[in-house]
Amino acid sequence: MANRMKDKVVVVTGAASGMGLGIANALAGEGAAIVIADLNEEAATAAAEKLQGSGQRAIGVRANVSVRDDVRAVVERAVQEFGRIDVWFNNAGFNVPMQFLDVTEDNWRSIMEVNALGVLIGTQEAAKQFIAQGGGGKIINTTSMAGREGFPAFAPYSAAKSAVISLTQSAAKALAEHDVTVNAFAPGVVQTPLWVKLDADLVDIGEVEKGTSAMDEFASGIIRGRTAKVDDIVGTALYLASSDSDYLTAQVIMIDGGMVLV
């Protein structure tokens, strides 16, 4: 199994934590050189140093995915260090839940900016580099089951993740002539720092009763009968990054244990 990503250069945004970190570690284990791009510079550097410590090629770069100059700088650092980019994961994201009638313009804009605009900018800047290299390349977006179904306390987040699905299709059509594929995966409830915070936030806004857990409530509707661990997701990410998925484009793989059926 090892070495499925040998000599490939992979950028993962939001890779200092949670799923991005799990994906970065798994792909490094398969031989890829990894660029960990994250708002949290300290955590990004620490994650890269850990990989370097076990003999793998990795760098950490601070970047806000919704700021084009930051994203361009990630491309430049990746090319400077490793010569090219083969795979780009638009994975960074966050959510601040609010009851539907309370959603503010600031809440909407900040969530759309990172989760949706960040994916547009990441896709454009990665694609420009792929084209400059002579074509080929894979873009993989992290959307969500919330992009397939709206949730009352997640309106901006669901809208942003729907936008990611739409961008995946538009970009796949736009970039096909350059032999670039664009796909997405849609997790359900994954045990990461994002969900730990979300669980607490949902109690704060009265969406979930104190003393109970939204994660547990959601879990009861999952066909597989439990929420996911990061390890449940990385195999799908690896498939999308590897040559096994070369004929796949414009697709969204639901990896949510069968929670939302589409």
Ligand X SMILES: NC(=O)c1ccc[n+]([C@@H]2O[C@H](COP(=O)([O-])OP(=O)(O)OC[C@H]3O[C@@H](n4cnc5c(N)ncnc54)[C@H](O)[C@@H]3O)[C@@H](O)[C@H]2O)c1
Q: Which residues are the active-site residues?
A: 157, 161
- How many other CB atoms are found less than 10 A from the CB of residue 80? 9
For ligand X, the binding residues in 4-23 under the rule CB under 6 A are: 13-14, 16-20
On whether the CB atoms of residues 190 and 91 are closer than 8 A, the answer is no
Cβ-based nearer residue to ligand X, 67 or 103: 67
Instruction: Indicate if the alpha-carbon torsion angle 46, 52, 56, 62 is positive or negative.
Output: positive
Instruction: Give the tokens for residue 133.
Output: 């290299």
For ligand X, the binding residues in 133-152 under the rule CB under 6 A are: 142, 144
Instruction: Give the tokens for residue 171.
Output: 């970009």
**Contact flags string 169-188 toward ligand X, x per CB under 6 A:** ------------------x-
What amino acid is encoded at 49 in this protein?
Answer: E
| CA nearest neighbour of 184 among 199, 173, 197, 172 | 172
Q: Which of 25, 56, 123, 192 binds ligand X (CB under 6 A)?
A: 192
Taking CB under 6 A as the rule, does residue 241 contact ligand X? Answer: no
Instruction: Give the tokens for residue 17.
Output: 């934590």
| CA nearest neighbour of 216 among 185, 234, 195 | 195
Cβ-based nearer residue to ligand X, 142 or 236: 142
Q: Which of 39, 74, 126, 182 binds ligand X (CB under 6 A)?
A: 39
Give the CA angle between residues 61, 64, 69 to the nearest 5°: 85
**Contact flags string 194-223 toward ligand X, x per CB under 6 A:** xx----------------------------
Q: Which of 93, 122, 156, 257 binds ligand X (CB under 6 A)?
A: 93
**Contact flags string 51-90 toward ligand X, x per CB under 6 A:** ------------xxxx------------------------
- How many other CB atoms are found less than 10 A from the CB of residue 133? 15
Give the residues lining the site for ligand X (CB under 6 A).
Answer: 13-14, 16-20, 38-40, 63-66, 91-94, 114, 118, 142, 144, 187, 189-190, 192-195
